[in-house]
Amino acid sequence: MENQLILNGTTVANDVKEKLKVRVEQLLQSGLVPCLATILVGDDPSSETYVRMKGNACKKLGIESKRIHLPEETTTEELLAVIHSLNEDRSVHGILLQHPVPKQIDERKCFEAIDIEKDVDGVTSLGYGQTALGFGMYPSCTPAAIITIMDYYGIDAKGKHVVVVGRSPILGKPVSALLLNRNATVTTCHSYTHNLPEIVALADIVVAAVGKPNFIQGEWLKEGAVVLDAGYNKGNIGDVDYEACLKKASAITPVPGGVGPVTISMLLKHTTEAAEKGLKLRNEKVSQ
Amino acid sequence: MENQLILNGTTVANDVKEKLKVRVEQLLQSGLVPCLATILVGDDPSSETYVRMKGNACKKLGIESKRIHLPEETTTEELLAVIHSLNEDRSVHGILLQHPVPKQIDERKCFEAIDIEKDVDGVTSLGYGQTALGFGMYPSCTPAAIITIMDYYGIDAKGKHVVVVGRSPILGKPVSALLLNRNATVTTCHSYTHNLPEIVALADIVVAAVGKPNFIQGEWLKEGAVVLDAGYNKGNIGDVDYEACLKKASAITPVPGGVGPVTISMLLKHTTEAAEKGLKLRNEKVSQ
């Protein structure tokens, strides 16, 4: 297709961060330092990298990053105790537990223990339910990033047929829910889906969230479809066969430089919003 | 189509209730009386009928029904106080707030106040989130009824394309989530969906949850589709044009006598399960 639009995630993320900068400065001037606590359990190198990237992104914006690094042999109970103490800690506004945790830990139980007010990464079932029912505060960051990119480029989901490939709790499911709430007709596909190419061919908008490199084929697409690639596989490769899809799509996110950078900016946004709520509460108490 | 299967909800409901009877008797023999509290606000005659039907169904099975009837002018705060006291009341195992409440009441806030352990009607966002993420205790009763009918008649959703028409918080959304968790490919449609007939034509299984009498047309269906009609409109009319759909479907639920009776049996099942959890907790305390 001619005149394709490359949906530039770095541009969108910079726009988000520019706007956040003003809000963070206002918070700092009010004497409140927004703070994201990150919990890393064990020594997985890519998890370490992700946590460091998130911490650095916070710092650049003036958000404090409280990094907690627990040993590989941490138990569920020990991790729960850390989460409970961060829930209680008024100087902490957001909590991020880096996925995955070592296998002896009940990850779901630990996610569920995060206070809904501090669930800025959108991992609790309560947060998911609120998002799906249309009044969530902090949806998972990658789904929020996809919506933000669409908004930035004026891509309206209303009445469109969206095909989401993937159904993980922090990506496929919540992005399906968010797009349904934006009045799209949503089809959620996964490993049991028969005739995936035929279903993708119906889509006005395709969201790839499957975790398989170059999985979505160009020949599957309807001419002029919008392609949003939330995949991030080894070697900076997305879930979409970019070159082939580029030929048919009317708009497409590259990997890297697409959904990824916006995802981190959503974490910053949610942490800032949680801190703003903290400030509001503090002011209400002072005025009482 | 020849050899259609009429999915008989009364048969399924009777089967559910027969099995529950044994469990309720065991509870009664242990000295625990399972109890569902129903809250009706105002004097809407059909709501009164629903609540009475639910109460009578409880009684028939040996489940106590604690009926609370509040005046039309009840405030949100007054209703919240009632819910909080039922949450605290150990003799109450399930709480049902009859929808809709008078318009001065914040219904969502009141639903959210129901303790997750007593949310046997599946109305809280936490319950919805847990259901959607695959570990919910008590899904909303109509979606649970649809799954139960499918199980009774051996209709496997795995790999099937399910089209759900409707997206309400207690019907379209949770039934989409449950069927996705059963490994169906799920498309959720609604009033903004373009080309609904073409989308319904793709479905191996159609769930009608739209609230419009005779809305789903026979000519839309793929030959041999399974049709599950969760609609219940004035005059005992479903969302599906039954006679026309009957000609093309391989299996279909009638209205009345389809999803409806099973829905009430799900409420009884969830209340029984909540009471069983109560008994287990009591026994654990005794043995400590």
Interval B25-39: pLDDT, tens = 999 999 999 999 999
Q: What are phi and psi of A39, to 5 degrees?
A: -115, 120
Are A190 and B185 within 8 A, CB to CB?
Answer: yes
Residue B90 one-letter amino acid = R
Residue B198: which residues within 8 A CB-CB, separation 6 or more?
A: none
For residue B129, give the nearest of A132, A135, A202 by CB distance.
Answer: A132
Are A193 and B185 within 8 A, CB to CB?
Answer: yes
Count of pairs with CB atoms under 8 A, one residue in A, one in B: 95
Q: Could you confirm whether A98 is annotated as catalytic?
A: yes
Judged on CB neighbours under 10 Å (0-12, 13-18, 19+), B147 is: buried
> From the annotation, which residues of B make up the binding site?
166-168
User: What integer pLDDT is reported at residue B35 of this predicted model?
Assistant: 98
Alpha carbon A177 to chain centroid, angstroms? 14
With tokens 């995955």, the residue in question is: A100
Query: Residues 26..45 of B with a Cβ closer than 8 Å to A: which?
Result: none
Given CB atoms, is A218 within the 8 Å cutoff of chain B? no
Given CB atoms, is B272 within the 8 Å cutoff of chain A? no
Give the model confidence (pLDDT) of B42-67 as tens digits.
999 999 999 999 999 999 999 999 99
Given CB atoms, is A130 within the 8 Å cutoff of chain B? yes
Residues of A in contact with B127 (CB under 8 A): 129
A166 is in an annotated binding site: yes
Nearest CA in chain A to B190: A185
Between CA B174 and CA B184 the distance in angstroms is 14
Residues of A in contact with B158 (CB under 8 A): 192
User: What integer pLDDT is reported at residue B4 of this predicted model?
Assistant: 73
Question: Beta-strand (E) ranges in B53-194?
Answer: 64-70, 94-97, 161-165, 185-189
Can you read off the two tokens belonging to residue B169?
């918080």
For residue A133, give the nearest of B128, B133, B135 by CB distance.
Answer: B128
Is the predicted pLDDT of residue B68 greater than 80, yes or no?
yes
Give the model confidence (pLDDT) of A159-202 as tens digits.
999 999 999 999 999 999 999 999 999 999 999 999 999 999 99
Is the predicted pLDDT of residue B2 greater than 60, yes or no?
no
Is the predicted pLDDT of residue B1 greater than 70, yes or no?
no
Nearest CA in chain A to B158: A192
Nearest CA in chain A to B194: A159
Question: Beta-strand (E) ranges in chain A?
Answer: 5-6, 35-41, 64-70, 94-97, 161-165, 185-189, 205-208, 226-229, 251-252
Q: Could you confirm whether A54 is annotated as catalytic?
A: yes
With tokens 């066969």, the residue in question is: A241
The radius of gyration of chain B from alpha carbons, rounded to an integer in Å, stands at 19
Between CA A31 and CA B126 the distance in angstroms is 34
User: What integer pLDDT is reported at residue A3 of this predicted model?
Assistant: 67
Counting as low any pLDDT under 50, the low residues of chain A are none
Average pLDDT, chain B: 96
Given CB atoms, is A140 within the 8 Å cutoff of chain B? no
Between CA A52 and CA A37 the distance in angstroms is 12
User: What integer pLDDT is reported at residue B250 of this predicted model?
Assistant: 97
Are B126 and A127 within 8 A, CB to CB?
Answer: no
For residue B186, give the nearest of A125, A159, A188 by CB distance.
Answer: A188
* Inter-residue contact B194 to B238 (CB < 8 Å): no
Between CA A95 and CA A111 the distance in angstroms is 10
Tell me how close the Cα of A211 comes to any Cα of chain B, in angstroms.
18
ipTM for this prediction? 0.96
Selection from A216, A100, A222 nearest residue A169 by Cα: A100
Selection from A218, A228, A219, A222 nearest residue A176 by Cα: A228
H or E segment to which residue B83 belongs: helix B76-88
* Inter-residue contact B242 to B252 (CB < 8 Å): yes
> From the annotation, which residues of B make up the binding site for NADP(+)?
166-168
A224 is in an annotated binding site: no
Between CA B65 and CA B29 the distance in angstroms is 18
Is the predicted pLDDT of residue B174 greater than 80, yes or no?
yes
Between CA B249 and CA A67 the distance in angstroms is 58
**Domains present along chain B, CATH in parentheses:** 30-116 (3.40.50.10860), 141-259 (3.40.50.720)
Between CA A238 and CA B46 the distance in angstroms is 53
* Inter-residue contact B113 to B80 (CB < 8 Å): yes
Residue B8: which residues within 8 A CB-CB, separation 6 or more?
A: B254, B257, B258
Selection from A230, B30, A34, A82 nearest residue A98 by Cα: A82
Query: Residues 90..109 of B with a Cβ closer than 8 Å to A: which?
Result: 108
Q: Predicted confidence band at B3 (pLDDT cuts at 50, 70, 90)?
A: low
User: What integer pLDDT is reported at residue A190 of this predicted model?
Assistant: 98
